[in-house]
Amino acid sequence: MIDKRCASVEEAVSVIHSGSVIAVGGFGDIGVPLALCAALARLDVCDLTIVSNNAGTGENGLALLFKHHCVSRLIASFPSQAGADHFMNAWKQGEVQVELTPQGTLAERLRAGGSGLAGFFTPTGYGTELTLGRETRVVNGKGHVYEEALRVDFALVQADRADRYGNLRYRLATRNFNPVMAMAARHTIAQTRQLVALGDIGPDDVHTAGVHVDSVVEVRT
Amino acid sequence: MSTGWTDEELARRVAHEFPDGACVNLGIGLPTLVARYVPEGREVLFHSENGLVGMGPAPEQGQEDADVVNAGKKPVTLVPGAAIVHQADSFSLIRGGRLFATVLGGLQVACNGDLANWKIPGTPGVGGVGGAMDLAAGAQRVFVMMRHTDKAGTPKLVQECTFPLTAKACVTSVFTDLAVIDLIDGRFVVREMAAALTRARLQEATGAPLSFAASAA
């Protein structure tokens, strides 16, 4: 029997250990698996590498991981948005190294990682300081840089609906990075607003097939 | 500068560039104004980097849906016929050339089309690039909407960018409070200028030589 349901967020994140590379879905605070982040911050883990577009604001989500000194490295496109005080403090203290990555490159590195590719050439960032020293190639007269695929240990994602096979459906703009992160991880944990019966999410309506997902936990929000 | 266009006039001017049926990305800040001024009779589809194709205006107060925001994380609406895609597909359509144009803010634009708009050297903090480099590299046209000079009066249209680049040779046209300027063969070519302005004053406010199209008064 396939049953990926977990009874609690604590149980779902208990597999995560210090030194892990973790992709966390969301754009700003939209589509961020807030309860999973909070549960992770309560674990005694450190030296995490976080892959996420932003770095959390206020006392929410990723912000808690920086507050509790869990993170040593961040791969993000826009970490320093307004309200990201816990991240900023951790960065000023020298606790966190930041790898700034253009947003589309970040998304594509995850998709490539989840697709069994080594990397790709992209025009994004060619000739800028963010790609200094990178392998380049001119294709059809246009400069490209080589970007490595990103495979991660864990992904924390947020869905609107999920079933026990781990099939996920997102709602509106909460989809953002969640599907590519679910693909890119060796172990994907989904927080869902609602657990539904098998078949309630029709085959045409599944956004992330359950084969990408290892555990689901319902968090009504 | 009091002789120039207001933000609203400028937004209207930019919106006029979009043909019926165009899909356009608007950057955060000043460019978001443009959405209000699509000329009557044209359907323009607005794209937001976080996966919205068919973004509508801000909702009425109390009508916000917490699951619908724009690139600046502000509440927006979706138009009938809108589509949602994930982040990788959103940037695929950017790099894949589906955008008629992106309208971005700018810190510096050089006459060879180089754009700098993500980082001011010497500013403390780690900075953030977001989707600017992808948009600048991928859209069919890159329109930069910005003040002609910075607050100190220093030209933002320059011979060569001194700020970190967003993308090389990417800018199609610049829309400032003083003029509409096309980048053609490594030169700034003025297409239109604000009514009360002289060519000499415009040149004074610009850090590289200007050419003037026949259309410029």
Residues 6 or more apart from B160 whose CB is under 8 A from it?
B110, B112, B114
Residue B41 has pLDDT above 50, yes or no: yes
Alpha carbon distance A130, A134 (integer Å): 9
Chain A, residues 67-126, CB within 8 A of chain B, namely: 76-81, 88, 91, 98, 100-108, 110-111, 122-126
**For domain A9-116+149-218, which CATH number applies: 3.90.1300.10, 2.102.10.10, 3.40.1080.10, 3.40.50.1820?**
3.40.1080.10
pLDDT digits (tens, 9 = 90+) for A107-140: 999 999 999 999 999 999 999 999 999 999 999 9
Q: Is the pLDDT of residue B1 over 50?
A: no
Domain ranges across chain A: 9-116+149-218
Token pair belonging to A179: 């599907």
For testing contact with chain B, the best of A85, A92, A136, A172 (most B CBs within 10 A): A172
Residues of B in contact with A107 (CB under 8 A): 86-88, 90-91
Chain A stretch 18-77, residues whose beta carbon is closer than 8 A to a beta carbon of chain B = 27-31, 53, 76-77
- Enter the ipTM: 0.96
On chain B, the residues whose CB falls within 8 A of the CB of A108 are 88, 91-92
pLDDT tens-digit map of A43-79:
989 999 999 999 999 999 999 999 999 999 999 999 9
Average pLDDT over residues B21-33: 92
- Stated pTM of the model: 0.96
Give the rounded percent of residues in chain B with a pLDDT score beyond 90. Answer: 88
Q: Do residue B73 and residue A27 have CB atoms under 8 angstroms apart?
A: yes
With 70 as the cut, is the pLDDT of residue B2 above it? no
Domain B7-212 has what CATH class? alpha beta
Q: What tens digit of pLDDT does each residue of B122-144 get?
A: 888 888 999 999 999 999 999 99
